[in-house]
Amino acid sequence: MVEIEYRKARIKLGYTDLVYEPAEDSVLLADAALKEAKAGIHILEIGTGSGFVSAVLLANLKDIRLIATEINPHAARCAKINGVEVIRTDLFKALKPRSLETRFDLILFNPPYLPTSREEKVPGWLNYAFDGGTSGRETLDRFLNEVRDYLKPGGEILVLISSITGLDPVKEKMEKLGFAVDVVTRKKISFEELMVVRGKLL
Ligand SMILES: C[S@@+](CC[C@H](N)C(=O)[O-])C[C@H]1O[C@@H](n2cnc3c(N)ncnc32)[C@H](O)[C@@H]1O
């Protein structure tokens, strides 16, 4: 298994035709989450993939509690190998809303964001890493519709988005759902700009 090292975390990667290989988006989210997280907090990562972002947090922060979810069984297995506690489920499905144990201070998501038509789908489980539906925002929109139920009062979310799907519709939706919104980091890479958007529950 190929292993990479980033900020004290050593991460074993799964086969790249089965599990999303961490890239600039993963690094941007991990760095933003490291800045945001404080010792002692309870963190949830949705769609952990190889476990890269969660493993970086676990390797660098003291006393955090962290769990993750992932829909792709190959990715869930890979994240477990990397020391991440993972529940294999669709977004929040296996978590009980309104239970104290499933209320978090910080929730992270690097969602599939590519606008994808039926013909553009990638075969197998890896499609979940890329396929954002025709708008590119279908999975992110489902996440945003549900996330409030899993946050503690004053809790925050960090989501990775791309200029391909656009900041304005995401910001508008988050504000309607009761979040104060700002962009905490941006990075231009070839044809797109990646952004980490923070939503703080008002
Ligand atoms: C762009 S990849 C990011 C992976 C990893 N968090 C990273 O930053 O390297 C998106 C991940 O979300 C997972 N995913 C997509 N839809 C999901 C859903 N409905 N529930 C849980 N995980 C999902 C995919 O399988 C994939 O592993």
Model pLDDT, residue 88? 97
Q: Write out the residue range of the structural domain in which residue 104 sits.
A: 3-201
The CA dihedral of 180, 183, 185, 186, to the nearest 10 degrees, is 160
Instruction: State the pLDDT at residue 102.
Output: 81
Please tell me which residue, 123 or 197, carries the higher pLDDT value. Answer: 197
Mean pLDDT of the chain: 95
Q: What are phi and psi of 47, to 5 degrees?
A: 65, 60
C-alpha to C-alpha distance for 54 and 75, rounded to whole angstroms: 13
Structural domain total, the chain? 1
Pick the closest to residue 11 from 43, 44, 59, 45 (CA basis): 59
CATH number at residue 9: 3.40.50.150
Residue 100 pLDDT > 80: no
User: Which residue is associated with the tokens 């309104």?
Assistant: 98
Q: Give the DSSP per-residue string, 37-67.
A: --TT-EEEEES-TTSHHHHHHHHH-SS-EEE
Q: Which two tokens stand for residue 95?
A: 């978590």
CA of 59 to the centre of ligand 1 (A): 21
Report pLDDT for 186.
97
Residue 174 identity: M
Contact 87, 67 (CB under 8 A): yes
CA distance linking residue 126 with residue 137, whole number of Å: 17
96 pLDDT band, cuts 50/70/90, is confident
Distance 153 CA to ligand 1 centre (A): 26
| Ligand 1 pocket at CB < 6 A | 20, 22, 25-26, 29, 46-49, 52-53, 69-72, 75, 90-91, 110, 112, 128-129, 139
Express as a percent the part of the chain with pLDDT over 70. Answer: 100
Q: Which whole number is the average pLDDT over 164-191?
A: 96
Query: Cα of 130 to ligand 1 centre, how many Å?
Result: 8
Q: Is the pLDDT of residue 16 over 90?
A: no
pLDDT for 104-161, tens place per residue? 999 999 999 988 988 899 889 999 999 999 999 999 999 999 999 999 999 999 999 9
Among protein residues, the one whose CA lies closest to atom 4 of ligand 1: 49
Sheet containing 42-46, strands listed edge to edge, beginning at the edge strand earlier in sequence:
86-88, 65-70, 42-46, 104-109, 151-162, 192-201, 179-189
**Alpha carbon nearest to ligand 1 atom 26, residue:** 129
Neighbouring residues of 99: CB distance < 8 A, sequence distance ≥ 6: none
